[in-house]
Structure 1
């Protein structure tokens, strides 16, 4: 009886100790699991926000470009001209099909739509009035309109960009570009988390759960309903409140409990704001797996404590109940083996998921590299396009001479002056060789490079770059002053991509000195240790201090509309980074800007012929 009483006391103490350990352990493990869940959600949130921002940036400037079309500017001044209406309708239809957008349409200053890409469709915007939309009056008053809404005519969700159609008499209309967001939303399906995008009034307008769309996670106050109705953001859709209960755990994690039918689902929410679109993005992850994992961890801890207690009790009974102790130890060992097997299976599952994530990230990295290569090629095509007028002159001049020589040769042959005719034919051959050399340089510059880096002679790259850039420099009236030093310099790079960097930087320098009375551009190169430095400086106005930090950002340009994509310096910066170098810019003493290209030096022992 005394033994039973003692064991009862010991058992009670163990139970109290287990409870004392289990409660804080459960809180700690739950917090740890929630921290890991929040970190996963932040990664997903970053990807979702980046995708949305990328889509908005992709189409943002298109309405301004479309608004400059001659037919559109003529139409807003003569909206009754049926020939112009038909021509603009077909133009908008072709552009819409090319860009893969939802709709493009033209409105007059009274809000009436006079032309649209869907003019042939069953639901046409032609004749509709959308003056109540913010993108319309924002475009007329502040040069840019942006708005997300459900189309009142098409009943399709979209993001609208508006731009004014300017004429000498001022804004005479608005071009509206509607972007379809369904593809981004579709990519969110099939995941173990929920992504929602909320408007300024707390209404969900994008979600991988269709039943959550147009539901509010905040209270629909009369003020919010009135503001939403004023812009007809969601047309005639009935808005409702999603049954959500908010709470915050001790670690500061936001928890949302949603009543779905007869079930209540708890989510951990992470949030990011998109002020440029007045959106809020939330990623919701179910907490049930995390709580279950925390309970499993606490149970394992209690099991270990229990095993330790059993071991201690077994030592106390060693002399009296040796056989019982062995039995208890075997049972405990079997239990531990089962737990180890279960944990091993869990670890194998986690490793499998990690391998899948690594494969997915590698695929994403390959896609990013391909996109970067396409941008580099687009930059080269843009540079060639900007120099097309000067290059045309370079070809037209020898072509005119060839024609004149050919006609003279025919006359000389008719008169029997064979030697003079032979000299004309020799001159024609020389001019043809000159055009072939220029064409070969342009062809080599335009083709896509491979990724292999190799020792490259800097003077050879410059010789192949000059025929491409010389027409542009000659058109500005500037002579390039080159100083590569007394010793030939070798760099570790790619021939064609390095040519593209030099073309972009020299073109920018030519633009900077175009209005100078005495334009000057100087290119110098030198070596310091294991690095080679190339400086291109001009005597232009320099780079304004306010944009020095943004000059290498994609799509950032100080040139007028239609004079540049804002990709040249961004592409050049990334090319030099791929070479293991660095590209910087600074305003030099006196006047003018200086770009410095820093590249790894290479030895001239072996110089492959292939230039990418």
Structure 2
């Protein structure tokens, strides 16, 4: 009787525990899995926002750069010139293919398109008027514009960057750069999340679910429709509201979408992209969350049932005392066997640990050797880069030597032996300098033994002129030198300082070639314990976008075959080795200005590296 009573009490307690578990466990499980799902959806949202922002930032500065091209400026000044229009069309088509963008086109101030990358295609923009587009209106007022829309001519979606075309600081036209973002949208299809992007009016224009395209997550009021139609953002696409209802549970935003089949509930996270004026949303189906919560409840109920079974076993233990004693003996024997097995297993584990320690020590030794090899490989890689630089640096004195050889041959034919001998002497000096440059490359593989010392600026400039005189003559450039005091000297190396001056003056000659004002100024001035050497030309100057990269290796604004893009990078590092600095800017009245700052040195009669 007592045993039955105890069983009945146990069943009652089990029922009460099941009820409490079901009522509180469901809410706890749902909240826990919803938090996990929110973290996952947040990661997906950050990735989607980063992908969109990164894709757009690649193209943002391009319209302003293209607008500064001579072909574009000449066309907006003379839009009726067919030769200029043909040249601009070809240029835009080549740039569009190179950058893998959608379309690039140029408009006059009245909105008429006069050149386009698709000028020869069936949906050419040439002759079309886009003055109703907000991006055109903003750019025509002199600002940089961004806009997303469905093309009215191509019927292709894209993101538009617009920039004013300024001629003599006057806006004469607008250039538009259209970027295709279908590739990003394609990556959203078939995933576990639904990703959508909506405009300020709440209309979905990007989504991995095509059935939601051009649906609105906000009420389609007359004011929203009027703004959308005024800009013709979606051309003739049919807009419709997306049947949704919104609620919040445990701090989570839940959307129920009743579109097509049975309504589905989604956990929703959104992020507003200020620059693009978009809202990116990630929707995660909560059916899996509720399914996991139900699974957890079932597991809890099974655990409670197991607990009830244990309780029943405990109530019967007294009736099975002898069996329990036998089981305890068996369990003790089994435990002893397991202890012996575990002891043997631990011994084997210790042996494996000792072997692993020995292997790790050997691995550490190999790692140290590998690190040493990597250091040597890095030095050899640097030596390869310096080899390329040597071919660039030797080209200039070789060209000067060739000029002297040709001149010497002519002088000998005319019996002007003394002048020919002078030319041969100059060639010998150039050969000595090339040997010094070659020695500088050879010493790169080890710690250089040369020391920085006083170098006469007058001597350095004189030696530099011997190398660059031929280039100055070809460019018809005039070198204006003002060293302030003839005895001025700096802490440097003679040959490497000449390398820097040759590179900068040669670049200045390239910049002024063909201009009306072909003067190049070399000015030295003392500023306390520093000596400032300025090389300034009257060319087009250095745009800010190029100034940030001008000292990078292999970066060059010259055409193919006219330089390796190493001269300024080498010069920058040489001046840095001297403990100085090399910078570039634009003069107030135009032209590039290179500024070399070095430590001033005591007056010397002759300086050598």
Instruction: Show the counterpart of 1:117.
Output: 117
1:162: how far off? 0.6
Change (3 A) 1:440 1:40: farther
Other-structure match for 1:360 = none
How far apart, in 1, do the equivalents of 2:247 and 2:114 lie?
A: 51
| CA-CA distance at 1:161 after TM superposition | 0.6
Measure how far apart 1:154 and its partner are. 0.4
Aligned to 2:34: 34
Residue 240 (1) aligns with residue 223 (2): no
Q: Which residue of 1 aligns with 2:168?
A: 168
| Aligned-partner SS, 2:19 | helix
Determine the structure 2 residue equivalent to 1:183. Answer: 183
Q: Deviations over 1:491-548 (max 9, x none)?
A: xxxxxxxxxxxx9xxx9xxxxxx9999476989xxxxxxxxxxxxx9999xxxxxxxx
- Which residue is 2:272 aligned to? 273
Q: 2: CA distance between counterparts of 1:221 and 1:306?
A: 57
Which runs of 5 or more structure 1 residues have no equivalent in the other structure?
326-376, 385-390, 446-453, 485-502, 508-513, 524-536, 541-557, 573-612
Question: Highest CA radius of gyration, 1 or 2?
Answer: 2
Deviations 1:117-158 (Å, cap 9, x if unpaired)? 000001010111101111101112242111011101101111
Contact 1:405–1:427 at 8 Å: present in 2 too? no
Residues 321/274 of structure 1: CA separation in 2 closer, same or farther (3 Å cut): same
Cα distance in 2 for partners of 1:415, 1:285 equals: 93
Deviation for aligned residue 1:194 = 1.9
Counterpart in the other structure of 1:152: 152
What is the rounded CA distance, in whole Å, between the counterparts of 1:521 and 1:52 in structure 2? 52
Partner of 2:72: helix, strand, or coil? helix
Per the alignment, residue 468 of structure 2 pairs with none
Q: How does 1:460-609 map to 2 (within 5 A)?
A: 518=525, 560-561=543-544, 563-565=546-548
| Aligned residue number for residue 259 of structure 1 | 258
- Structure 1 distance, partners of 2:451, 2:34, is 59
Q: Which moved more, 1:422-431 or 1:41-50?
A: 422-431
* SS of 2:310 mapped into structure 1: helix
Distance 1:397 1:178, change over 3 A: same
Whether the 8 Å contact between 1:406 and 1:424 is mirrored in structure 2 is no
**In 1: Cα distance, 2:399 partner to 2:436 partner:** 14
Shift in alpha-carbon separation, 1:75–1:412, aligned structure 2, 3 A: same
Identify the residue that residue 307 of structure 2 maps to in structure 1.
308
Measure, in 2, the Cα distance between the counterparts of 1:521 and 1:49.
Answer: 52
Q: What is aligned with 1:339? A: none
CA contact (8 A) 1:412 1:421 kept: yes
Which string of whole-angstrom CA distances, capped at 9 and with x for unpartnered residues, describes residues 539-573 of structure 1?
99xxxxxxxxxxxxxxxxx974554356979x99x
In the other structure, the counterpart of 1:581 is none
Mapped to 2, the partners of 1:23 and 1:97 lie a distance apart of 63
Q: What does residue 84 of structure 1 align with?
A: 84
| Residue aligning to 2:281 | 282
For residues 152-199 of structure 1, the C-alpha deviation after alignment (integer angstroms, 9 at most, x for no partner) is 110111110111111237111100000110112222234222221111
Aligned CA distance change for structure 1 residues 23 and 192 (closer, same or farther; 3 Å):
same
Q: Any residues of structure 2 matched to 1:294-305 within 5 Å, and which? A: 294-305=293-304
SS in 1 for 2:237: coil
Q: Which residue of 1 aligns with 2:290?
A: 291
CA apart distance, 1:16: 2.6
> Secondary structure at the residue paired with 2:263?
strand
CA contact (8 A) 1:204 1:214 kept: yes
CA deviations over 1:207-234 (Å, ceiling 9, x no partner): 1112221111222122211111111111
Aligned to 1:55: 55
Residue 403 of structure 1: how far off its partner (Å): 0.9
8 Å Cα contact 2:92/2:117 also seen in 1: yes
Number of residues of Structure 1 aligned to a counterpart in Structure 2: 440
Whether the aligned pair in 1 keeps the contact of 2:195 and 2:283 (CA below 8 Å) is yes
Q: Is the partner of 2:266 in helix, strand or coil?
A: strand
Change (3 A) 1:95 1:522: farther
The answer to whether the 8 A contact 1:151-1:158 is kept is yes
Determine if the alignment matches structure 1 residue 230 to structure 2 residue 230: yes
Q: Secondary structure at the match of 2:257?
A: strand
Shift in alpha-carbon separation, 1:143–1:395, aligned structure 2, 3 A: farther
Deviation for aligned residue 1:244: 2.0
Segments of 5+ residues of structure 2 without an aligned counterpart are: 325-381, 454-459, 466-478, 494-502, 508-520, 535-540, 556-568, 570-609
Cα distance in 2, alignment partners of residues 109 and 57 from structure 1: 27
Q: 1:481 to 1:56 in 2, by over 3 A?
A: farther
What is the deviation of 1:19? Answer: 1.9
Equivalent residues of 1:406, 1:425 under 8 A apart? no
Instruction: Kindly indicate whether the alpha-carbon contact (under 8 Å) linking 1:246 and 1:254 is maintained by their aligned counterparts in 2.
Output: yes
Q: Secondary structure at the match of 1:263?
A: coil
Return closer, same or farther for 1:203/1:323 CA change in 2, 3 Å cut-off.
farther
- Judged with a 3 Å threshold, the aligned counterparts in structure 2 of structure 1 residues 29 and 321 are, in CA distance, closer, same or farther, namely same
Q: Is the 8 A contact 1:185 1:207 kept in 2?
A: yes
Structure 2-normalised TM-score?
0.61
CA contact (8 A) 1:25 1:298 kept: yes
TM-score, normalisation: structure 1: 0.61
Instruction: Please give the per-residue CA displacement for 1:222-252, whole angstroms capped at 9, x wherever unaligned.
Output: 22111111111111100112222222221x1
